[in-house]
Amino acid sequence: MTAIPVPAARHRPQISILSDADLVPLAKMGDEPAIRTIVQRHNQRLFRTARAIIRNDAEAEDVVQAAYIRAFTNLATFRGEAQLSTWLTRITLNEALGRVRARKNTTGLEEIDMQRTAPGEVLQFPSSLSATDPETELSRSQARHLLENAVDELPDDFRAVFVLRDVEGMSTDEAASYLGIRPETAKTRLHRARKMMRQSIEKQLSGAFAALFPFDGARCCFMADRVIAALRNETL
């Protein structure tokens, strides 16, 4: 990959409104604004994907950074046969799963006794989140953290499907494709994951999944800075 030049953006269109298809050729040439736009556009999904596998915010950020570096240093191999978001998500999944495999041997699904998870063991959440006063905002924040903890407690294979389907809003076929499993397997795992969480979540936090594991603002920009710095080091 060529060195990242100082952008000459005076007469170029507003880069933030360009599609991924338009940004990729610019990023292949090392265009920093294009790379930053791609990073900030896909941070949320990639962080959630990594977080679903790793279950640790800091390590998930490291996974996302490593995935971006791998993607941008191999961008010449991206042929546009799939969407850029699909390609980036698969790289992130591979990076996260590789770290898990290196850290420990994961427990097979056949060894997980789901019958031992009784309804009473599911976390309970505040019942009213409709107002906008400070107390309710605090309750909303607390509920989100409790929900994140409940997601973290799901078995690894169930958690990955749950996050891709119910947090990211992917179709079952998409989630199955990302995870390299059959759609029928994805449906089964999703059903069992929802069963573990349904009583405490569906009634009281409907629609709140979009607030899980936020990755925006300064944190999002900082990831772009880290990626740019690392790419510059690659060219030295």
- Which residue, 88, 85, 75, 92, is CA-closest to 19? 85
pLDDT of residue 126: 37
> How are the residues of the chain apportioned to helix, strand and coil, as percentages rounded to the nearest 5?
70, 0, 30
pLDDT exceeds cutoff 70 at 150: yes
CATH 1.10.1740.10 fits 15-101, yes or no: yes
**Distance of alpha carbon 176 from alpha carbon 80, whole angstroms:** 20
pTM for the model stands at 0.66
Calculate the average pLDDT of the chain: 78
Q: What is the pLDDT of residue 234?
A: 80
pLDDT 10s digits, 107-139: 443 333 333 333 333 333 333 444 456 666 666
CA angle (68 as vertex; 40, 17 as ends), nearest 5? 30
28-85: pLDDT as tens digits:
999 999 999 999 999 999 999 999 889 889 999 999 999 999 999 999 999 888 899 9
Return the SS3 of 66: helix
CATH of 133-208, one of 1.10.3720.10, 1.10.10.10, 2.60.40.10, 3.40.50.1100: 1.10.10.10
Give me the residue spans of the domains in the chain.
15-101, 133-208
pLDDT (tens digit, 9 = 90+) per residue, 201-227? 565 555 666 677 888 888 888 999 999
Q: What pLDDT, on a 0 to 100 scale, did the predictor assign at position 9?
A: 44
